[in-house]
Amino acid sequence: MDPVVTRFPPSPTGYLHVGGARTALFNWLYARHTAGRFVLRLEDTDVQRSTQASVDAIFEALQWLGIDWDDGPYYQTQRVDVYRAHIQKLVDRGHAYYCTCTPEDIEAMRNEAKARGDKPRYDGRCRDKHRPPSEDAVIRFKAPRTGTTVIEDVVKGPIVFQNDELDDFIICRSDGMPMYNLAVVVDDITMGINTVIRGDDHVNNTPKQILLYKALGAPLPVFAHVPMVLGSDRARLSKRHGAMSVTEYRDMGYLPDAVLNYLVRLGWSHGDQEFFTRDELIAKFSLEHIGKSAGVFDPQKLLALNADHIKTASIETLALHLKPFLGALGVDNPDPAYLGAAIETLQTRSKTLLEMADGAVFYFQADVVYEEKAARKFLKPAALEPLRFLIAQLEAQGVFNDASIEAAFVQTMEKTGLKLGKIAQPVRVALTGKTVSPGIFEIIRVLGKEKTLARLRRAADTIAAHGD
């Protein structure tokens, strides 16, 4: 059996969005699962809307997701000669013909058909006239007028189209540029694509493409048309549902593996399992488990899944993805060991990397900035004596570890008669500037003795300066 060859053919007319990313992911996973090949090509024949910026954005999104390709990228605009050669084959074999009907002629045909109660379409008047090539002629495919064309779809099952519902569709414009359906089929044939996984909005194109495969004497690929991704209101997914470009999720602090995990679950399942690593997805993905119902995009589920992936990710992985967010907050080139220790204190309490960076920035500040409300509530005269006693206890510790830090707090509680919470909150504000943070002992362990004492002394001086 030939190796599986799949493809992802985006049109570079904008960013890579959720629906397109899921299509890319399904094709990539199936190729990786079967030890096959994954081909990337850019369907850029819409030259007025296609841009290099969009091409770059698609590459950037795929690379961030970790979706790599084995062949390509191919560009349809660089393959026009290949299409024209195949179009000529269809003309030479009697499967296509030149048509000189004007747009006005076509409109009149459609209006007449409507008046009769028929489907508005081209009536085939140039079909058997053997017109020669000319500057104003398009080339049409000679579609069969009887029988059926059947899509043997892996996801949806057999889909039957009556051939008399198909008109003689254009495969080449008068300017010599191929039409979409022709270019797609020629690409898939010449690139050896034998498995086509795509959104079910392409179903109506598929019978035309099947006819082209047959006319060109090529075997049909496996077709798998995947249900669309919908918003919570069951309408087609859009920004109002919270769906954005893939790179926007990156910039909001999502991990690529979390986005992959969520996208694949929009239409595919493996029992009741929700959380998958990348390796698990590759091992378990199959076409048979793609569902027939549309996936419903839920931003809150994606956020929860991202939190789960942050909890299970390695410190090295989190550090790699966290650094740009820290850089945006003015933290550049942090010490790897110190950064790793800081991440450990935030890993179970961060839903996004953006949240983690905001929570971690105090570790790297020379002078912590106190939140006004926090300082007013907790850095007040009553906290001065406990702070000064705690400073003395921490200074006296020869070994600075969890046990000695805890001992210093216990001694402070015994000396002042205060419970831990009454001591911990002023200390938290002194060390972080905030009222919400990782555990106090964790923070002190990461900061180390020198930084901890410096911050506590500064807080004590701040309180004293306002009168004790």
Q: Is 142 helix (H, G, I), strand (E, B) or coil?
A: coil
Separation between Cα atoms, residue 87 and residue 170, nearest integer Å: 11
Q: In which residue are the tokens 């050896």 written? A: 192
Q: What angle do CA 439, 444, 446 make, to 5 degrees?
A: 95
Give the active site residues. Answer: 239
Say if strands 37-42 and 5-8 run parallel, antiparallel, or are unpaired.
Answer: parallel
**What angle is formed at CA 253 by the lines to CA 273 and CA 363, rounded to 5 degrees?**
115
Contact 285, 277 (CB under 8 A): no
Tokens 């569709």 map to which residue?
169
Residue 7: φ, ψ to 5°: -150, 160
Q: Which residues pair with 223 in a beta bridge?
A: 153, 196
For residues 64 and 246, the answer to whether their CB atoms sit within 8 Å is: yes
CA-nearest of 323, 289, 228, 302 to 260 is: 302
Q: Beta strand pairing status for 229-230 and 222-226?
A: unpaired
CB atoms within 10 A of CB 412: 23
> What are the structure tokens assigned to 360, written together?
């971690």
CA 294-299-301 angle, to 5 degrees, is 85
Q: Which residues contact 307 (CB under 8 A, 6 or more apart)?
A: 350, 351, 352
- The number of residues making up the chain comes to 468
* Residue 285 to residue 29: CA distance in whole angstroms: 7
DSSP 77-101: GG-HHHHHHHHHHHHHTTSEEEE--
Closest CA to 25 of 218, 220, 295: 295
The greatest distance separating any two alpha carbons of the chain, rounded to the nearest whole angstrom, comes to: 106
Contact 139, 168 (CB under 8 A): no
Strands 37-42 and 71-75, how do they pair?
parallel
